[in-house]
Each structure stands twice: as structure tokens, then as C-alpha cells.
Structure 1
């Protein structure tokens, strides 16, 4: 079964990298792969200093616009973002982190006992709660249809006057997602973050309740994107 899932993931990844990303699709990976990775040390590097810049950017946006509201961290992994938020806001933090991987949630809970973490596949399962800030930190591009995910969670999980924070590393497929988001929604903030190794991330705050004047339901292939 594991071999079949590995083959399916490899095939899906090839389709994504060669074609599907051009039309705004994400690169969904099966839960078994995530469980295997989080059972080991595959993602431990996210705690390292070179990764810190985009985490600080997210924390800064929450501090500026979040008004100490309730946070949903979609794809929280081992709780890296929670660590940064907790260091800044401590007991004032109202936070829920969700992840497809039970192994990730167990690690997050062990590392950060004060955090609130829950196993949930947000691409397929419903969450019956509302939040003031929803954060997709390097996770939106793993959803089957990223823009549909934003539209759905905005409708069912975001409080009135709430906002969404998105961080994505600089890759061609992610530019297509940014283009679609720009066409649909109002950006309150958009910034480029770069570390000493010249890795780039783009971090944005979206007011999804203020829909852009014209937005497209379908995507056309794009080769480049002029960032806001």
C-alpha cells in the first residue's frame, strides 16, 4: 500500500510540475507521506535561523493587523510558527494549529504543551469554528485547489473583519496562485523576504471580504508575474 501511495504521489508531482501548476492547482501529498516525514527529522530544519525571516514577517503582520484575535494555523506541522507567536504574545495568544499529520501534532504537543493542536485534513474535512486570522504558512500550495480553499475558509471559518495571512516560497507554481489571489482579493500588505542564502518568500495579508473588482474563476497559463 505504501509503495502504491508513493507511486501515486510521484505521478501527481510530475503532473503538477509539468502542467497542473500552470492552472492554479496545488501539489497535494497523501497523508501517509506526511506521517513518514514527520515521524523522522525531515522538517526539523524549519526551526533553523535561515527559515526565521518569513516567520517574523507573519508575526509582524499579526501584531499589526490581528488585534490579538483568534488564530487558525493551517498546516502547523511541529509548531514552528506557534513558537514564534508564543514568544511574542505569550498568554494572550488564542491559537489553534491543525495539520494532516498525527505525527506532526504529537511532536507539536510535546514541544509546546501550552499550544492547542489538532489533527485535521483541511482539504477534505470541515472545521466548525471561526477565527479572526487564518494563516497558511507554506501550506496553501499543497491544497488541491488553493483558491477554492481560500474562498471556502473565508466563508465558513473567518469572522467578520477577519484577514488571511499567506506565506509562500518563491517558485513558479506559487506565482500562479499569487496571480489568482490578486485577481480575487484586496491585499493589505505584500512583502518580499530574503535570507542570507538568497532564499525568497512572499508574505501577504489579504482582506478577503473586499473582493477585487474583477476576478477570474478559471486560470490561464502564465509565465511570469509582476508582484504588487
Structure 2
């Protein structure tokens, strides 16, 4: 891990210890996780899942383990991985940055759940990971919508990439949580 990755990992570890990410287990996250898990359930029959930015395993509360034949979860925060709940039998966890992680084998689904904001070039990372999809595999991407700043630019890069000829955009939707005051853009592509 580079010095910058170590610094970022320490920050994420501290935030998990301090409870900063506990809100991901709250009722207000159910709609987004519902769509993410529904997309994955359509792709996994059962099948293999690479979960980039898996955190402490919130997804496992929504996706039946019977849909998963192989699971690999990747997160930069070891603290999150230490708290992971519901790891499927035979599942693996890796502490790594999404930009430096090298998957082993191919996957039926690759999930980027609110993590592409942390990539220098999110479209390039999606293209790199696409090589690790099985021929009928698909990628699920969830990003919250911001109107300005770096997050808005990165969301625009993802949208532009998925509209290009290199991708087959199967579905996309925007989800608005009135209670939370957040909008997400979710994509299913291959």
C-alpha cells in the first residue's frame, strides 16, 4: 500500500471505529440497498460477486446468500472488514484500495456501491474491472447525486462512460429519498 493509501485507510478505520458509517444500517438506506440487491439478484442465479467497497457487509442484510456461489469483498478499511456480518460460506475479504486491487478470476457481478467517488478516474476503473466479468456478467454501480464539486464531476464521468459504445446499459434509475434528502443514480451494465 502506498503512503497515501495507508493514510486513507487510517482515516476510514477511525471513521468506522467512531460510528461515522453506522447510518448505512438505518431504515433510510433500505430503498437504495433494495435496488442494488434486486439488480444483483437478477444477475446472480446463483453466481460469483466481487463487492468493491463492501464496508462491514450491509449488503448481506439484503441479498440472499443462496444467490452467491462465490463472494469477494474488498474495502480499504480493515476496521470495516473486522466487523463484516454475514460473510457467505467460503467468502473472502481483502483489505485493499479499489485502484490497486487485482481480482483473481472472473465474476458474474461486480458491485461499486458508493465507492467510485474515491477513484482518480472512475470510468477507467470500471473499464479495468470489466475485464473480470464473465461473458454474461454485469456491473452494478450506485452513486449519490451532487449538483457540484468533485462528486458531480465523477458521476458525470460514469454516466458518460456508460452511455458509450463500450458498455451495454441494461438499466439505470434515479432514486430520491425524501426523508434523507438524498438522490442516487444506480446503473446495471455489461
Q: How high is the TM-score relative to the length of structure 2? A: 0.83
Within the candidate set 182, 185, 188, 1:202 is matched to 185
Within the candidate set 158, 161, 174, 1:180 is matched to 161
1:119 shift after superposition: 1.6
Within the candidate set 105, 117, 126, 1:129 is matched to 105
Q: Is the 8 A contact 2:56 2:83 kept in 1?
A: yes
Show the counterpart of 2:174.
192
Structure 1 counterpart SS, 2:97: coil
* Greater share of strand: 2
1:176 shift after superposition: 3.4
Unaligned residue ranges in structure 1 (runs of 5+): 10-28, 208-228
Q: Deviations 1:154-192 (Å, cap 9, x if unpaired)?
A: 11x211221100011112221333123322422100111
Show the counterpart of 2:114.
138
Structure 2 counterpart SS, 1:177: helix
Question: Quick check: 1:150 aligned with 2:133?
Answer: no
Unaligned residue ranges in structure 2 (runs of 5+): 147-151
Higher relative contact order (CA 8 A, sep 6+): 1
Q: Are the structure 2 counterparts of residues 41 and 138 from structure 1 closer, same or farther at C-alpha, using a change threshold of 3 Å? A: same
1:92 shift after superposition: 4.1
Within the candidate set 37, 52, 59, 1:59 is matched to 37
1:125 shift after superposition: 3.0
Q: How high is the TM-score relative to the length of structure 1? A: 0.70
1:33 shift after superposition: 1.3
Equivalent residues, number: 176
Q: Deviations 1:28-65 (Å, cap 9, x if unpaired)?
A: x8222112112220100000011111110011112223
Whole-Å separation in 2 of the counterparts to 1:90 and 1:148 = 30
Whole-Å separation in 1 of the counterparts to 2:187 and 2:156 = 13
Q: Are the structure 2 counterparts of residues 136 and 113 from structure 1 closer, same or farther at C-alpha, using a change threshold of 3 Å? A: closer
Q: Is the 8 A contact 1:50 1:196 kept in 2?
A: no
